[in-house]
Structure 1
Amino acid sequence: MKLFFLISLFSILHTNFALEFTAQDLLYSLEQISEGIIESAPGPLRPDYVFKTIKNIVEGLPNQIVSGITNIICSAVIAKGKDQTPDQYDPTLGDIKFQFRTPCDKREYSVADPSGLADDDDFDPDKNTVIFSTGWTTTVNNERQDALAKAYNCRGDTNYLALDMGNYINTLYFWSSENTDKIGKYLAEGIQRLESIIDIGKLHIMGHSLGAQIMGSAARYYRDLTGKTLPYVTGLDPAFPCFNEGEELTVISSSDADFVDIIHTNPGGSGQPQAFGDVDFYVGGKFPVQDACNDPQCSHEIVWQYYTESVYPNNVNDFLAKRCNSLNSLQEGKCVGNEYPMGYAVPHTLRGRYVLEVNAEKPYGKNATADYTNPDSTVCGSCEEFE
C-alpha cells in the first residue's frame, strides 16, 4: 500500500519538477522514534521496553520515512498550485450525503437538503447527533461505520450520521487529500442547514485519518459561514502526509472548534506526529506500532476500535490516561496528576498531552471492569436486539 501511496503522488508531478531533501527532513521520523525511546530516562531501560523499541524501529521506521518524504512532496506540489484533481474526481455537492443509521436500516439525505431528516420517524432532534467520516480508500458502507453506528445505537441517546463521500477519497492519495477541503466545505453547508433541525450545541463531528482532516475543514468553513464555532470535533489518528499547520491543506487543530480532542496511534507514519488538539492522547507513547499490531497500517486503523470500545455504556472509563511526555515516564511512575478517560467520556475542559497504555487484545482498555461490553459479541445496538 505504501508503494501505491508514493506512486500516486509521483504520477501527478511534472517531469521537470525537482525536490531537494535535507538530512534533517529524512531524519525527522527517526527523531520521533528516538524521543519515544529515551525521553524521560535516565536509568536503564527495561527489557520489555527495549524489545518494544526494536520492534518499532524495524516495523515503524520505514513507514515513517516514507510518510515524511510523501508529506514533503505533497506539500511542495500543492504549494505550486491547487485543484490538480481531475474533473471526474472533483467532489460535487449533490454527491455528498448524510447516511442516517438505525439498528436495522440506512437512509440517505443530501447535505444540500437534509430536511428529510426532520420527517424521519427514527431521527430524534432532541438527542445528541454524531457525524463520522472514514479515511482514504473507504466508502460509506464499511466496518468502521458499522461498528460505531452499533455502539452509538446501543447507547440510545444519539443520532448516528455516516458521511457518504462517494468515491472522492477512494482515489489516488494526493487527489483524495485535496478533496478533503472541498468535502469539508460542503459538509459545513450541510451542518448549517441542520441548524433548523437539531441543536448544534449537541453536535459532535469526528473522523479517522483523511476523515479527521475533513472534519477540521468543515469546522473552519462553518465558522466562516456563520461566525460561530462548532462545539466538538474529534480526530482519530488524523492523516499526516499533505497536511501541515498553516499550509494550503492545514491540519485539524484546537482552533477549529470549542473543543478538539485527537487520538494518536501511528504518529509520524500515516498519522500526525504533533499535538495540535486541545488535548492529544498518545496511545503507547510516540511509538508508531501498537502492541495489538505487527505493522504500522494496523496501528493507524486500530484507533477506531479503541474509540468504539469506549462508546459502550459500561466501557466509558476503560481508557485512562495521564498527562505525560512519554511512555517510559508513564511506566516509571514519573507522571503525576489524575487519570482522565480517552474517547467517549473525555472531559471537555482537559488540556495538554496525555499518554496511556492499552492491552494487546480486547478489551483494549486496561481499566475494563467485569461489566465490560465486548463490541464483537454484544447484540446491543444491532438489529438482532429487536428481532
Structure 2
Amino acid sequence: MSYYYGQICQIIFMISLPYICCLSFDFDDVFVSLKDVVIGNGKNVISSIPTPDTLFRLGINVVAGLPFEVVLSAVNVVCSAAISSGTIRSRITPDLNKMNFQLRTACNKYEYPLLSSSELWNNPEFDRNKSVVIYASGFMSTITNSSSIDELSKVYNCRDDVNFVAVDAANFVDTLYTWSALNTDEIGKNIAVGLVELTKIVPVENIHLIGHSLGAHIMGAAGRNFYYQTGKLIPRITALDPAKPCFNEGQSLSGLMRGDAEFIDVIHSDPGALGKREPTGDIDFYPGGLGPLPKGCYDIGCAHARSWQYYAETVYQGNEMSYLGVRCTSLIQAEEGKCPGPKVPMGYAVPKYLKGNYFLDVNGEEPFGKQSDAGFLESKKNCGTCQN
C-alpha cells in the first residue's frame, strides 16, 4: 500500500514544484491549504459512503481505490487554482521545429518535422487511398518509450487498412506534470498545422485522432485549432482516459471538449483518479463502472493504461464487437437489466450517431473484453509485426 501512496506523493510533487519554484510564500500556508482541501473532499466522500451491501457488490477494487480518488481530487483543486492564478508558466515551451510526425509500418519508422509533414505524406509507404490514424500518448512518454504507441501501431498495421502515425512531442509531455499540462494547448496548435498540410493530400473525412491521458487533451486542442484554421471539423477524436489533474471545464485548462470534432468517443478506465470521471465526449464508455480501479488493477497506473489496452483489442479485424455496452446510469443497473436498451460496441466500431453514457463489464486479465476470444487474439499475436 505504501507504494501506491508513493505514486500519489510523486504526482503531488510534480504538480506542486513549479508553483513552489515560481512563487514566494509561507510553506506552512501551502500545507494547511492542501490539508483543508483534502479534509473538505473527505467530508464530501464520507457523506456519500455507500452501504455495506453496495460495497460488497462493487467489489474490493473500488473500495481500495477510494483513498486515491480523494487525494487526487484535492490535487486537482490545488493544481487548477495554481494555474488559474496566472503565476505558473511552463519552463519548457513547445517548439514547432522540434516536433515530429512518425509514420509506423510493420517494419519501418519514418519521422518528419510537423512543418515538413508533406514529405511524410509523400513517403512511398504512405498509402493515400487509406485513412489516417494519428495518435498522441500521455504524460512521461515519448516516441521511443511508449507501450501504447507500440501496441496501437501493431494492431492497426495488422488491419492493413490505415496509415498509423504517432506524434512525437519531444520532451514537452516528459517533464513536470504541471508544465506538461500547460503545454497541451500549444502542442495541439502545432499538430493542427500538420493536419492542414495533410488535408492537401488526404480528405479530412479520412482522419481519425486518438489520444491517451494528456494526449486526449492535445488532440482536442488539435481538432479545435484545425477548425479555427479551416472551418472544418475532424470527423472523430477518440479519447482514452483523458487526464483529470489540472483540467476542468470553465477553468484555465479545459482540455478536450465536445465540439472539437464531429464525433468524440471516450473510454474512462480510471474515472475520478488520474482520468476524468465526468462525460467528456458525445458518447462516454465506463468499462468496469465509475470506480477508479477496474478488475485486475490494484493501482491507478494500471487502471489509467487499461483504456488504450481495451481499445487496442477492438482494432483487430474480427474482434470489433468484443466490448458491448448499454446506455445506463451505473454498472450495477446495467448488470441487473434495468437498462434494456440495445448493446453497442465500444472502441473501433462504435456507431458515430450515438450519444450518452454507456456501461459494461470487463475481465480482469487479457483478453479484457467479455466478448473477446482468447484463442483468436493469440492467433494475432504476431500480426502487424515485421516478419522479414
Residue 140 of structure 2 is aligned to residue 125 of structure 1: no
Shift of 1:33: 8.3
Residue 24 of structure 2 is aligned to residue 15 of structure 1: yes
Q: Which residue of 1 aligns with 2:376?
A: 372
Residue 58 of structure 2 is aligned to residue 55 of structure 1: no
Shift of 1:24: 8.4
Shift of 1:74: 1.4
Q: Which residue of 1 aligns with 2:187?
A: 183
Change (3 A) 1:204 1:93: same
* Aligned-partner residue type, residue 203 of structure 2: D
Aligned counterpart in structure 1 of residue 99 of structure 2, from 96, 112, 117: 96
Q: Is the 8 A contact 2:218 2:255 kept in 1?
A: no
Task: State the Cα deviation string for residues 339-364 of structure 1 (Å, max 9, x = none).
Answer: 00000000000100000001111221
Residue 362 of structure 2 is aligned to residue 347 of structure 1: no
Change (3 A) 1:205 1:31: farther
Aligned counterpart in structure 2 of residue 66 of structure 1, from 71, 88, 94: 71
Q: Is the 8 A contact 1:134 1:210 kept in 2?
A: yes
Q: Which residue of 1 aligns with 2:202?
A: 198
Q: Is the 8 A contact 1:140 1:162 kept in 2?
A: yes
User: What CA distance in whole angstroms lies between the structure 2 residues aligned with 1:90 and 1:6?
Assistant: 22
Residue 239 of structure 2 is aligned to residue 235 of structure 1: yes
User: What CA distance in whole angstroms lies between the structure 2 residues aligned with 1:140 and 1:268?
Assistant: 27
**1:204-243, aligned counterparts within 5 Å?**
204-243=208-247
Shift of 1:378: 1.9
- Farther-moved stretch of structure 1 (15-24 vs 198-207): 15-24
Change (3 A) 1:208 1:29: farther
Task: State the Cα deviation string for residues 247-273 of structure 1 (Å, max 9, x = none).
Answer: 221131222110000000110100001
User: What CA distance in whole angstroms lies between the structure 1 residues aligned with 2:99 and 2:360?
Assistant: 36
Q: Is the 8 A contact 1:29 1:68 kept in 2?
A: no
Change (3 A) 1:373 1:32: farther
Give the match's secondary structure for 1:184: helix
Q: Which residue of 2 aligns with 1:41?
A: none
Aligned residues: 372
Taking only the aligned residue pairs, the percentage that are identical comes to: 39
Aligned counterpart in structure 2 of residue 110 of structure 1, from 98, 110, 113: 113
Q: Is the 8 A contact 1:103 1:382 kept in 2?
A: yes
Q: Which residue of 1 aligns with 2:250?
A: 246
Change (3 A) 1:3 1:282: same
Change (3 A) 1:253 1:163: same
Q: Is the 8 A contact 1:97 1:163 kept in 2?
A: yes
Residue 143 of structure 2 is aligned to residue 140 of structure 1: yes
RMSD: 2.2
Unpaired segments ≥5 residues, structure 1: 39-43
Give the match's secondary structure for 2:218: helix
Residue 34 of structure 2 is aligned to residue 30 of structure 1: no
Give the match's secondary structure for 1:314: coil
Shift of 1:103: 0.1
* Aligned-partner residue type, residue 257 of structure 1: A
Task: State the Cα deviation string for residues 280-333 of structure 1 (Å, max 9, x = none).
Answer: 000111011010211121001111111101000021000000001111111211
Q: Is the 8 A contact 2:132 2:206 kept in 1?
A: yes
Change (3 A) 1:109 1:373: same
User: What CA distance in whole angstroms lies between the structure 1 residues aligned with 2:60 and 2:312?
Assistant: 30
Displaced runs of 4+ in structure 1, greater than 6 A? none
Change (3 A) 1:31 1:129: farther
Aligned counterpart in structure 2 of residue 6 of structure 1, from 3, 6, 12: 12
Shift of 1:172: 0.5
* Aligned-partner residue type, residue 344 of structure 2: Y
Residue 174 of structure 2 is aligned to residue 170 of structure 1: yes
Q: Which residue of 1 aligns with 2:154?
A: 150
